[in-house]
Each structure stands twice: as structure tokens, then as C-alpha cells.
């Protein structure tokens, strides 16, 4: 009920090995730092050229950075990069004005990093992902395939497993997100006022996580409404719906609808 496979489909997921030997899904949060240090191969050193902020738009193709001669077509759903009329399959685009704060960053194929995005390492970004203008990735972050780290969205010590969308004004700290969609302004709180370790209550049983910073576990197909909040240590099962302007706390099973009654009570 509280293992990774209860929340996520990890088949063929590039980060699946992170969850091996985890008794509970949140145990993976304790392993992020070591996992990245062991597996991350940064590939942005040539792009940075000793400076954090990119001065020119660069294209990453087949392990090489191009700083000119290409054309970027943004008329379709995904940008297309051509060089002398030839389509560069799998090319990633790092726009001028994006900031890569150190070399411990890996960029996959067909990734777009927009101007004004700031990425600290260690960070691993998989294929077909967008890091939009104003995004702030603070390190110890794994971003899977086909994700969106959106405008003024902040991430730290967290995992997006793939198909995870946080398009606007979100905070994601010490959390694991499956294939989810976060409404604008979703905030995932990760620290209690008193700074005490997070304890999770499920069916009358107390689970001591051993974590002082623990945001949320959002299972596959979870959706959150605009300006929703999760308190530290919240778990939303697959397909749960967190309604707008609602605060969730504790454990919710799959397909649960979480909303505030007119009286202010939770259902």
C-alpha cells in the first residue's frame, strides 16, 4: 500500500533503480543525493564556458554543442532544429539567458531550457522536457521524460518520474511526482513549523519516516487544482483529485476527491 509500485508505473523508467530496496516509497528521498552522485554524467561543461549565464543560444546534438548556423522552428508543438536544411533529430535547445550554475547537470534529447531558467547541480533532465522561463531548479533533482518545469516553478531535492507537469507558479520540495498535472500555484510544503520529523498516519498505524523535510508523494494521474496546498508528508494515491484552494494533509487512497465543504471541513 505504501511502496513505490502502489503509486507509480516504474516499467522502463530511467530512475526505477532508485526505488530498489525501499521499504516505503518515501525512502527514495533519502537516496537521491547518493543516486545522482553515482549515476550522473554531466554534459554541459562545454556550454558554460566558465560562465553561468549563457550568452548565446546553443543547440546540443549528438553530444556536441553548436553555437551558430542552425535554425529553430517554433511553429509546431515541439521546436525543430535544422542545420543547412537538415533536421537535427533529438537536438536540445539552451536559449541565451538561461543559467547553468555548475557542470553537474545532464541534459537529455529534445530538451528546451528557456531564457531566465536557472539550474543548479546536481540535476538530471531526461528527454522531451521543458524548463520554462523563470524556473528555478536548486539541485538534487531528477526530471524524467516529457516533463514541464514551468514559469516560476521551484524544485529542490525532488523527482519527476515522467509525464509530470508543473506549468505555473509551483513549489516542489523533497517530493516524488508521478505522471501528474499541477494546477497553477500548487504548493508542496516540506517542513513543519517546529522542524520535527514527519510521521505519517495510515489506518491507525504511525509510520516514522525519519525525514525532517518531506513534501509529498503524488501518484500517477493525480491532478491538483489552482492554489492547492499539500502539508508535509502528504500522500495522494493514483488518480486522486485535489480541488482548487484546498489543503491536503495525510494519506489519501487512489481516486480520492479532496475538497473543502462550505463549512470548511474536509471530505
- Active site residues per annotation: 168
Residue whose C-alpha is closest to residue 27's, from 208, 164, 221, 236: 208
The maximal CA–CA distance of the chain, rounded, in angstroms, is 65
- Cα separation, 154 vs 189, in Å, equals 12
Burial class (CB in 10 A: 0-12, 13-18, 19+), 109: middle
- Cα separation, 90 vs 249, in Å, equals 41
Cβ atoms within 10 Å, residue 213:
18
- Cα separation, 137 vs 132, in Å, equals 11
- Cα separation, 1 vs 223, in Å, equals 20
Which parts of 27-171 fold into alpha helices (H)? 32-39, 45-48
Residue whose C-alpha is closest to residue 108's, from 145, 56, 147, 70: 145
Mark residue 208 as left, alpha or beta (left: phi above 0; alpha: psi -120 to 50; beta: remaining): beta
Tally of helices (H runs) and strands (E runs) in the chain? 3, 32
Amino acid at each position: 500500500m505504501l511502496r513505490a509500485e502502489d503509486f507509480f508505473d516504474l516499467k522502463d523508467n530511467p530512475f526505477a533503480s532508485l526505488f530498489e530496496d525501499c521499504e516505503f516509497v518515501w525512502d527514495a528521498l533519502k537516496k537521491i543525493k547518493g543516486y545522482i552522485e553515482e549515476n550522473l554524467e554531466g554534459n554541459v561543461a562545454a556550454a558554460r564556458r566558465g560562465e553561468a549565464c549563457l550568452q548565446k543560444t546553443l543547440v546540443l546534438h549528438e553530444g556536441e554543442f553548436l553555437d551558430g548556423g542552425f535554425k529553430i522552428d517554433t511553429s509546431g508543438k515541439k521546436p525543430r532544429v535544422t542545420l543547412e536544411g537538415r533536421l537535427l533529430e533529438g537536438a536540445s535547445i539552451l536559449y541565451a539567458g538561461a543559467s547553468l550554475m555548475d557542470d553537474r547537470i545532464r541534459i537529455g534529447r529534445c530538451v528546451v531550457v528557456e531564457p531566465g531558467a536557472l539550474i543548479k547541480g546536481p540535476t538530471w533532465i531526461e528527454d522531451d522536457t521543458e524548463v520554462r522561463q523563470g524556473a528555478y531548479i536548486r539541485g538534487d533533482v531528477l526530471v524524467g521524460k516529457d516533463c514541464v518545469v514551468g514559469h516560476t516553478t521551484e524544485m529542490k531535492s525532488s523527482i519527476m518520474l515522467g509525464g509530470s507537469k508543473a506549468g505555473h507558479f509551483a513549489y516542489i520540495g523533497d517530493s516524488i511526482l508521478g505522471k501528474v498535472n499541477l494546477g497553477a500555484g500548487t504548493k508542496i510544503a516540506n517542513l513543519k513549523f517546529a522542524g520535527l520529523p514527519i510521521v505519517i498516519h495510515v489506518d491507525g498505524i504511525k509510520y516514522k519516516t525519519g525525514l525532517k523535510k518531506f513534501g509529498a508523494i503524488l501518484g500517477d494521474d493525480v491532478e491538483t487544482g489552482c492554489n492547492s496546498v499539500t502539508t508535509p508528508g502528504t500522500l495522494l494515491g493514483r488518480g486522486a483529485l485535489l480541488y482548487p484552494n484546498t489543503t491536503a494533509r495525510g494519506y489519501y487512497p487512489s481516486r480520492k476527491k479532496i475538497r473543502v465543504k462550505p463549512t470548511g471541513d474536509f471530505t
